[in-house]
Amino acid sequence: MNRRLKKCPVCNSDLQIVEYRCPNCQTSIRGEFGVGDFAVLSAAQNQFVKTFICCGGNIREVEKELKISYPTVKNRLAEVQEILCNNKTASASNEILDKVEAGEISVEEAIEKIKQGRNK
């Protein structure tokens, strides 16, 4: 079975599900159907969420499984959170974590900045 297409291959507009069909009895149901919250995530983001859940939400386990750093896990988690929760503070946290990873600020400074952002 092919993965669901998200964009029209001709004009790049969002595609819409308009029919479900039973392969056993050939029943077809037509209408406009929603796609679920996770359909807005990219394939890589869906894989990250799957790994995160399989690791029981343990960031250290995700680190080991994906062979990426703790700030990168937090960064990807904030990215998914921003998309699924429409959360603007996640992108601010993302930028702060990028600065920690680049060595521009310390972990303590990052914690303080994130706390300040939550209190606004």
For residue 113, what are the domain limits? 39-118
Write the single-letter amino acid at 8.
C
* Phi/psi of residue 55, nearest 5 degrees: -90, 10
Number of domains in the chain: 1
pLDDT tens, residue by residue, 18-51 = 999 999 999 999 998 877 778 888 889 999 999 9
Residue 45 belongs to a domain: yes
User: Exposed (0-12), middle (13-18) or buried (19+): which is 49, by Cβ within 10 Å?
Assistant: middle
- Please state, in angstroms and rounded to a whole number, the distance separating the CA atoms of residues 39 and 19: 17
Residue 21 belongs to a domain: no
pLDDT at 4: 72
pLDDT over 70, % of the chain: 91
